[in-house]
Each structure stands twice: as C-alpha cells, then as structure tokens.
C-alpha cells in the first residue's frame, strides 16, 4: 500500500511543497529516495524510536519513502513527522483519509517529542497558496505559522498527540491568530537623552532614520560613535505588518526566531570585523541568510570599518544597490532580501587622533593614506552621509529623548510613503526626477559642488535624496537651498 502525505522544504526563505510517498511491502530494510540530505537519510531511525516510545509499531517490512519532486534537494529533519504518519497509514495503523488536506512538518526526538523547525511561516504561506486548509507542526512554531489567518494551524508537543488529534480532529482548537502590535519604541534601553552634546551627529542619524539612508561616522576613539549607533534603532519608524512578516520569515529560516511569533522590532545587527564575506551575504552547504539579510528592514552596523577585510566589504556593493542578495551554487540559486540601512564607524587614522583638537597624531601621512585606502571609493560612494564625530562636550546638557526624535522621523516617513510608496533612499531615477526637482538657484549650487568636489553621478542623485529627506523633516513640499546645502555638506565631508 502506498500513502502520500504533504510536507515542505525550505529554499532560501521560501518554502516548496513536497509529497512524502511511503510504501510498506514484503522484505526488510529502509530506503529514502528523492535527493535526501544526511539528516533526511537518518529520519527513519528517529521515526522508529519515536513510534516505539509512544506505543506505536514500526512495521518489520521493507519501507520505501520517496520525496517528490525528486529534483529538489531535501535537507533538515522536518520530514520526520510526515514520514512517521505516512508509515502508520501505509501499515493500516492510521486512516489515510485523515491525512488529506493537511500539511505536516516537524522533527521528532527519540522519545517522540516534536522539536521546532526553521521556516514555519514560509511553510504556512506556501501551504495556503497551494490550497491546503490545515497545517500541523511543533507547538513552538504554532504562533509564527498562525499569522496566516486563512490557514488552520495546529501545534503539538508529541507524536502521540498528533495521532490522537487525527483520529478525533474536533477535540483540538486551532491556534489563535496573534494580534499585530506595532513597536512603540519602549523596549529600547539606549536613549538619545543619555548622550551629551553631539548635536550634529544626532541630526545626521535622524536624517538616516527618516529616509533610510546609509551613513559613516568618522572620529577619534572615545567620542561616542558606537554609543550613538546603538541609539539609531530607537528612532526608526515602527515596522508595518508587511515588513514584520518579511523580517520574521528571514529569522525563521535562519533558526533565530523565538516562539513569540511575529517580529515587531526592527533588527540591529552589529557585525564584528572578523566576519567573513559568507557570514555577511549568507550561503553555506544549506543556504542560510547572512548578516545583510538579517538586517532587512533594520540596521547593519559595522564598527571599526577599516579593520574589515577589503574583500568582505566589497560584497556590500551589490546589495546596497539592488537591495537583495543572490547566492548561487552549482546545484541551486536562492535570493535573500537585503533592504537595510548601513551604518559604519571608523577612526581617522591608525592611532585615531588625526586632526584631534587636543591629542597629537603619531601617524605619518603615508600611514594615514594607507589606512583610509582600505575603504574603496565605490563603497564610499554608496554611503549617503559622511559625518565627522568630535570629542564630546561633557558640559552640555542632556538633549531630547529618542521618543521625540522618533515622532519626527515617523512623520517624515509617512510623507515619503504617501508620495512614492517607499523611503527616499529607495527612490528610482524617475522618482528622483519627479519628486526631487530643484529651483534654478539650488541647481546652480549643486552643479558647482559637483565640479568643485569632483562628485560622481551617483553622488548627485544621492544628494538629492538626502535633501528631499531633510525637506520632509521640515514638512516642506519643496527642496530649499538650506536643505540642499546640508545634504551637500554630508556628502563632501573630508577627514
């Protein structure tokens, strides 16, 4: 007898439905076909122990499991549950009729407990898209999968609970759809009010947050660059439901999502300078999202920028332009979203005190030049705001808190979404021409800056985007000369 059960496998952050076909026939031995990975090949041993632990019987016959379509590589242990149920149905211990209209996924322990899986939300989305009405998976993944409201999600802790449910399905209620609550910023312990002085840097961070622009902080050690960067998440606008779903799918696929369900906070990924290029972009034997994608709809912070390997930094260039990462291997290719704000920090020289007002720099001009050359021109050209950080004025009074700044940022972001449907940093060339038009005086000033500072065509467009954001923060419909001058100043900063 052959029994078919629906399951799913992850490909990047997307899921693909897989049919688990099981046949129990005369003979002895276990066999799984259909491009199974090592974890899948070991599945029948876990299934045998799990069935025995909950009082069910593993047939002492030949068991053949086919995972279709055979052309897709299957990795992970999430096929344990569907394989176990298909064996029970194929050996007449469970009715095949009860398995229809369900998608099953979950790893089994030797004692028959269900362990959480990666990508539950993606599985739920794909199951609903393909017309299935019910999804059974581990209890720890239930809240996440239940975000697909038109799909009945049932979470269980053990294999015998699943079998019991299938024999009496009306005795268990579906998982409730969790309510989406926008992040109000109350969880951020790092507040702008903690930072004395540094008004210019705070202003630049506010512009970055409002328009989604990339930024670079350059200053001596001890001036508060890292402290200021840690406060950027607290002034970002709250995630929308669509953004929250996208972010949740990425973290679920990476196995970094807790059981609380939907993410409501924008991610902040602080990457150490020893990170490799694969750690940044993602990949590996089983393609997983890297730090770039884990920062999707949030902030990627690179402290000590010049300490990163140049090869590692260069992989940022394509994602900063295309807002996605393509991981290509010989047998597969996956796409990870990567719409993030890049915030980097660095010292101005090896000793850190180049042009310091009170400390003497011990570096030679050649050492300073070599130090700065670690950051390529094309990468710097993709960073919108270059900001100098001076030593903090400890006599300055505490400034406004992050909540006040966040209210202005959110108001500016609302204007951008209503106008173009995206933050200013994502405006296309056509949108820039339409929404960032300049008057004659402003156009003349910008052209003079382009010639004087030898700026690229990319710089021209990015200056306009930043100026548009500054105007939005001022609730101005047009870009004024003051807005443009401030944007040019951020672009033309030199160490």
pLDDT in tens, 125-138: 999 999 999 999 99
Judge whether 235 lies within some domain.
yes
| Same domain, yes or no: 455 and 361 | no
Check residue 30 and give its pLDDT. 87
Measured CA to CA, the distance from residue 273 to residue 429 in angstroms comes to: 33
pLDDT digits (tens, 9 = 90+) for 283-341: 777 788 999 999 999 999 999 999 999 999 999 999 999 999 988 776 678 889 999 99
H or E segment and range at residue 449: helix 440-453
Judge whether 80 lies within some domain.
yes
pLDDT digits (tens, 9 = 90+) for 369-393: 899 888 998 999 999 999 999 887 7
Cβ distance 95 to 54 under 8 Å?
no
Instruction: Provide the CA 389 distance to its chain's centre, in angstroms.
Output: 29
Domain that holds residue 12: 2-171
H-assigned helices in 59-169: 80-90, 120-129, 142-145, 159-167
| Same domain, yes or no: 219 and 253 | yes
Question: What's the per-residue H, E or C state across 351-391?
Answer: CCCCCCCCCCCCCCHHHHHHHHCCCCHHHHHCCCEEEECCC
Give residue for tokens 């993030």: 340
356-361 mean pLDDT:
88
Judge whether 182 lies within some domain.
no
Average pLDDT, the chain: 91
Cβ distance 386 to 207 under 8 Å?
no
Cβ distance 109 to 115 under 8 Å?
yes
pLDDT digits (tens, 9 = 90+) for 461-481: 999 999 999 999 999 999 999
Judge whether 181 lies within some domain.
no
Domain C-terminal end among 368, 389, 424: 424
Number of Cβ within 10 Å of residue 456's Cβ equals 12
pLDDT surpassing 60 at residue 186: no
Check residue 495 and give its pLDDT. 65
pLDDT digits (tens, 9 = 90+) for 118-128: 999 999 999 99
Residues near 489 by beta carbon (within 8 Å), at least 6 away in sequence: none
CATH label of the domain that carries residue 351:
3.40.50.300
| Same domain, yes or no: 293 and 341 | yes
- If one compares 182 and 224, the residue with the highest pLDDT of the two is 224
Judge whether 247 lies within some domain.
yes
| Same domain, yes or no: 145 and 221 | no
| Same domain, yes or no: 454 and 370 | no
Closest CA to 495 of 346, 363, 300, 342: 346
60-87 mean pLDDT:
93
Judge whether 177 lies within some domain.
no
| Same domain, yes or no: 434 and 375 | no
Beta strand pairing call for 333-337 and 62-68: unpaired
pLDDT digits (tens, 9 = 90+) for 211-261: 999 999 999 998 889 999 999 999 999 999 899 999 999 999 998 887 667
Measured CA to CA, the distance from residue 215 to residue 490 in angstroms comes to: 9
Judge whether 356 lies within some domain.
yes
| Same domain, yes or no: 165 and 271 | no
Check residue 479 and give its pLDDT. 96
| Same domain, yes or no: 56 and 76 | yes
| Same domain, yes or no: 101 and 239 | no
| Same domain, yes or no: 349 and 483 | no
pLDDT digits (tens, 9 = 90+) for 401-459: 899 999 999 999 999 999 999 999 999 999 999 999 999 999 999 999 999 989 999 99
């Amino acid at each position: 007898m052959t029994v078919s059960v629906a399951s799913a496998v992850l490909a990047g952050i997307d899921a693909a439905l897989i049919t688990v076909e099981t046949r129990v026939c005369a003979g002895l031995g276990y066999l799984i076909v259909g491009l199974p990975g090592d974890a899948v090949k070991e599945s029948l041993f876990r299934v045998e122990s799990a069935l025995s632990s909950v009082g069910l019987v593993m047939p002492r016959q030949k068991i053949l499991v086919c995972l279709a379509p055979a052309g897709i590589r299957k990795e992970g242990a999430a096929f344990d549950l569907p394989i176990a149920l298909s064996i029970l149905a194929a050996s007449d211990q469970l009715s095949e009729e009860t398995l229809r209209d369900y998608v099953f996924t979950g790893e089994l322990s030797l004692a028959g407990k269900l362990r959480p899986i990666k990508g539950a939300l993606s599985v739920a989305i794909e199951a609903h898209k393909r017309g299935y009405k019910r999804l059974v998976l581990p209890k720890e993944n239930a809240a996440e999968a239940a975000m697909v409201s038109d799909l009945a999600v049932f979470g269980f802790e053990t294999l015998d609970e699943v079998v019991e449910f299938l024999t009496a399905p009306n005795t268990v209620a579906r998982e409730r759809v969790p309510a989406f609550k926008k992040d109000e910023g109350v969880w951020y312990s790092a507040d702008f009010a903690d930072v004395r002085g540094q008004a210019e840097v705070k202003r630049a961070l506010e512009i970055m947050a409002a328009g989604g622009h990339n930024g670079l902080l350059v200053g001596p050690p001890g001036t508060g660059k890292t402290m200021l960067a840690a406060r950027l998440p607290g002034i970002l606008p709250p995630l929308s439901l669509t953004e929250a779903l996208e972010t949740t799918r990425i973290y679920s696929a990476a196995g970094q999502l807790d059981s609380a369900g939907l993410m409501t906070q924008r991610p902040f990924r602080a990457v150490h300078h020893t990170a490799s290029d694969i750690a940044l972009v993602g990949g590996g034997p089983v393609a997983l999202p890297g730090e770039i994608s884990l920062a999707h709809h949030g902030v990627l912070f690179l402290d000590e920028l010049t300490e990163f390997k140049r090869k590692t930094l260069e992989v940022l260039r394509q994602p900063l332009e295309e807002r996605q990462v393509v991981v290509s291997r010989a047998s597969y290719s996956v796409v990870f979203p990567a719409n993030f704000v890049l915030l980097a920090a660095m010292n101005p020289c090896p000793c850190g005190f180049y042009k310091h007002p009170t400390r003497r720099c011990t570096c030679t001009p050649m050492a300073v030049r070599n130090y700065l050359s670690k950051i390529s021109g094309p990468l710097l050209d993709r960073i919108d705001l270059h900001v100098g950080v001076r030593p903090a004025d400890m006599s300055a009074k505490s400034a406004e808190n992050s909540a006040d700044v966040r209210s202005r940022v959110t108001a500016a972001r609302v204007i951008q979404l209503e106008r173009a449907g995206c933050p200013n940093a994502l405006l296309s060339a056509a949108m820039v021409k339409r929404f960032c038009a300049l008057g004659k005086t402003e156009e003349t000033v910008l052209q003079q800056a382009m010639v004087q500072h030898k700026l690229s065509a990319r710089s021209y467009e990015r200056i306009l985007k930043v100026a548009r954001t500054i105007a939005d923060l001022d609730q101005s419909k047009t870009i004024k000369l003051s807005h443009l001058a401030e944007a040019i100043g951020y672009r033309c900063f030199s160490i």
